[in-house]
Structure formats: C-alpha cells, structure tokens
Chains A and B, each alone.
Chain A
Amino acid sequence: MPDLLSLFLAKYNYWVVIFLMMIGLYAMMAKNNLVKKIIGMNIFQTAVILFYVSIATKHDASIPIIGHGHNGHHAIHAADYMNPLPHVLMLTAIVVSVATLGVALALAVKAYQQHDTLEEDEIIEQLKTDYLSQQ
C-alpha cells in the first residue's frame, strides 16, 4: 500500500494530467450542450499543456529567467533553472487551444442561430425533420 501511494506521489503530475484528460473526454462525449462539450475539449487540451509544463521542472530549480544581465560572461548552471523549452512550446499550444476554442464557439454560435438551441439532441432532431421534409 505505501508503495502504491509513493508511486502515486512520485508521479502525481502524470496522474493529474490523466485525470483532467478523462474529465475532458467525458464532457465531450456525455454532455449534451455544445458549450459544455467545448469546455470539455478545452479541459482536454489543458491537460496536455499541463503535462508539458510539468515535465519542465527540476529539483530546487527556479523560473527560467536570468535576473541580472551579465553580458553572457557568467556561466549559467542549467540545473538551477527550469527547462524553458516546454514552456515556450506550450505558449504556442495555448494559442492553438485558444484558436480552436474560437472556431468551436463560432460554430456553436452559428448552430444556435440556425436552430435556436445549443442542445445537441434537439439540433439533431431538427435536422432529421428538415431532412425528411426535404425528401
């Protein structure tokens, strides 16, 4: 039992990531409201972002900003600073996530304008009746 707990604690970041991903997936699948699905998607993407950020940390490391400019003469010990690369990558990924959010919301707004509801089952019902009346 303590082994399991220590296992969990040692890799708690991965567990959080997985937990968030599953919440996000669940929301996307099970929720009926389009906006809730979109929120779920965002949670899912956030989980992945969290994953990257979490792997950048090191023991007793500080944030990756060099405090006083030394004209680059001082040697920097990489072990004192967190890995900046994943942070940078995730800035991009956050932008991507926001863009995705934007597109998704735009489509949801359009769906609302067309069908007057954001509930997926009602929309599908409306589409079905439209299709059948077209035949």
Chain B
Amino acid sequence: MITIISIKPLIAILVSLLVIPILASSRKPNVREAWTFAAALIKFGIIASMVPAVLAGHTLELTIVPFFEGIDFKLRVDAFGLLFALVSSFLWIVTSAYSIGYMRGLDEHSQTRYFCFFAAALSATVGVAFSANLLTMYIFYEILSLSTYPLVTHHQDPEARSSGRKYLLYIMGGSIGLVLPAMVAVYLMTGTLDFASGGIFSGGLAFAQALPLLLMFVFGFSKAAVMPMHAWLPAAMVAPTPVSALLHAVAVVKVGVFCVFRVITGLFGPDLLQALDFGTLLCVIAAITILVSSLIALSQDNLKRRLAFSTIGQLSYIVLGAALLSKSGMTGGMLHIAMHAFGKITLFFCAGAIVVATGIKNISEMVGIGKQMPLTMAAFFIGSLSVIGLPPCGGFISKWHLAIGTIEAEQFTMLAVLLISSLLNAAYFLPIVYRAFFCTEAESMFENQFKEAPGWCLAPLLATAVISVLLFFYPQPFLTLSQLAVSRILGG
C-alpha cells in the first residue's frame, strides 16, 4: 500500500469550480449546457481514472497548505471517498441532462445561476469525499451548505424563503453550534484531525468526554438528517426537482452520512466505540430515525415529501451500517450510499417528470397515470424495488449486507428493524405503482394515450433505472471499493 502524491484530487474538485465563470458569461443556453456537460464528463473521467490505483490498494494524497500545527489542507483519495465521488460525479452528468429537460420544460428563471451553483455544489461534494482530515471536510461541508442555499431557494417566493431559513437554521446551526466546538476539542485533545484507520484517540477516551463529542458530531452534521435534525429535508422539497434529486437524494444528504461515517470510523474508530459500547447507542439512534421516518412517509400525499421522508430513513440505514461496527454492516452501509443514490434519483426524476408532463404533485391524483406515462412509472417501480431492497435491483445487495452485518454484530433487534422498515418501504411505495397501473377505467384520472415527459427528462430516469438493475448483477466497482475500505478500517 503506497501513498501516491497526485494533483488529481485537486483537479477533480476544481473542474466544476473553474467552469463557473464560463457558465456565468455564456450568452446562449446551449453553450452553457454544453460546458456543464463537458465539466461533468471531465470530472467523472478524472475520478474514474483514479479507480485502478485505489483498487490496487494505494491512496492518492495532496497537501495544499497548512492550517494549524498538525492540520493541513489535505486531500486524500481512499476507497470510501472514491466510491462516494464516483457516485456523485456520475450522477451529475445524468442530472445535468435531466435539468435541461426540466428547467426548459417549466421555463424556469435564472437558469445560469442554477447551473453555476450546481457546479459549485458538486465541487464541494467531491471535496468532502477527498478530505483527509476533519477540518478540510468541515470546510467543504460549509461551502456545500452555502452553495446549495441559492438552489434550494431558487423560486425566490415566500415559501422558498422560509424553507431557506429552516435549511440554514438546521444545517449551519448544526455545523457551527455542534461540530465546530467538538472539532476544536478533539484537536486540543489529540493534536491532529487526520482520519486514521484506528481512530485518532491513541490514548483512549473517557466515557464522559466521548459521549458528548460523538453526539455533537452525529447531530451536528445535520445533513445526515438523523432525527431530530431532519426537518430541513422535507422543507427543502420546494426546490426544483433536479435540485431535490441530486442534492437531497445523493449529494447533500450523502455528504452528511459520509461525514458521520468518517467520524465513526476514522476519528473514533470501531475499537474505541466497541469498548465504550457506543455501537448500540448509535444503532438505537439510527433505528428510531428509520422507523419514525418510514411511518411519517406513509402519511404524506405530496410525492416529493414522501420521497424526502423515505430518504431520511434510508440515510439512517447508512448510519446503522457504520454503527454496527461489523464487517458486513459497514460494507452494507457504504454500498447503500451507491445503491440508494441510483434508486432514489430514479424516483425523484420520475416525480419531476410527472410534474413537467402533467403538473401533478400529489399521489392521490396519480391514479391511472401508468396509462399515460408507462415508461416513467416502470422506472418508478424499479426505483422503489431498489429502495425497498428487493431483487433484481441493486438495493438488495446493500440491504443483504446490512442484514448479515446485524447478525455479525449480534444486534438482532436491528435485524428486526431492517425487516420492519423494508415492509414499511414497500407499504408506501408499491401502492403508488399499483394505483398507477392497475385501476379501472372509471377510477383513472388520465386518458389512455401515451404522453410521456420530454426526452431530456425521460432518458436520464430510464438510464438510472437500468443501472439500478445492472448493479444487482454487477455491483462493481462499488462492492470492491467498500470491501477494501472496510478492511482498511477494521484491519487497522
């Protein structure tokens, strides 16, 4: 295992940042969109080019400037970070295509600003993925919060304003109020913030110090939407759907759980948490979120809100995976980042496609929509299968690993939680599909004619749906990357 000094992680981050001035000054929309695609493809290309090295067991590093004694502005590409970066950058390509269809289909305003801040948000996301220490990660986390604010409040109406407030309150409140003091405290205790495979508290940590710190991190990274720091997510659904899709189903919230995962595995370390029996505590916190959010999801009529609560639950699956502190549990958690991303983004794309094609947002008004939009609803079906965790979709693989993980960790209650929540997932997804396709002529609210969403919307959602299925049969490179990462974490 060698450490390669490479400028690639920095370039991967900067690509989307540097394209912003070009985007901002583009006069023609097509030129602007072309540049977005170019940046997305280059970004994905650079990230993909790092896969062979990481799969061979190496890590790529780059130190930029020192910040404090013992903490540098440092980037590191390891298996876990690469997995996350791959998912985000690939889905940016897809979402850019979708954005074209959606934004033009609804003739949205300020599209240039939208694409610019989107690019910035992706820079920050990849930055989080490639952070070598907590401070670098914190910096990119904050940049992400700020660059997504204009995206969330895109519509600039009073509703967007109050959602924006909630967004800021939870996210900046968490990061400034909880993470910052905890981070400084950890630095003062250990003199470093670099993530290390055994955790950085080489001298062990007292219960009284570890507990508040751990809780401050878990709840402070509010993007992970661990209850009760979850309320911003349903509120953020006022954003345009591609924003909701990428940011809230893939990038923003995944950044949150990624940070929590990193803190658990790289800062505290499984051994320390095991010794203090915090694994069980974290499992309980995650379980509460999983169950409560699934129950709330059942009661939501607005499709995007239902998907938001579903996301909150799924995110805590990932936290649960980390909390199990077992090999399969962590593998499952990491894998779920990828699987859930593809599944959820399909679902959000479908929701948006429905809005563009019919203007409908509520589930109760979607009876019989399968007649009009069979492709969209078929993709929706596949996406839900993946999120529920049924074969032949990728979500099954990650949930399987999670289940094995609960047995390995002897947390059998968590196994029950997993099963119950899968049932709940089915309960709030499958009826939508059923009502869409199987209803009588009288009940159907739509005419029996094919009138799908525009091509720019349809192609991406079909693509992600197909990939969700493909991932079941061939979950690479995500599976190998997560296994590699976990072996590094547990192997020490």
Q: Within 8 Å by CB, do A and B touch in the complex? A: no
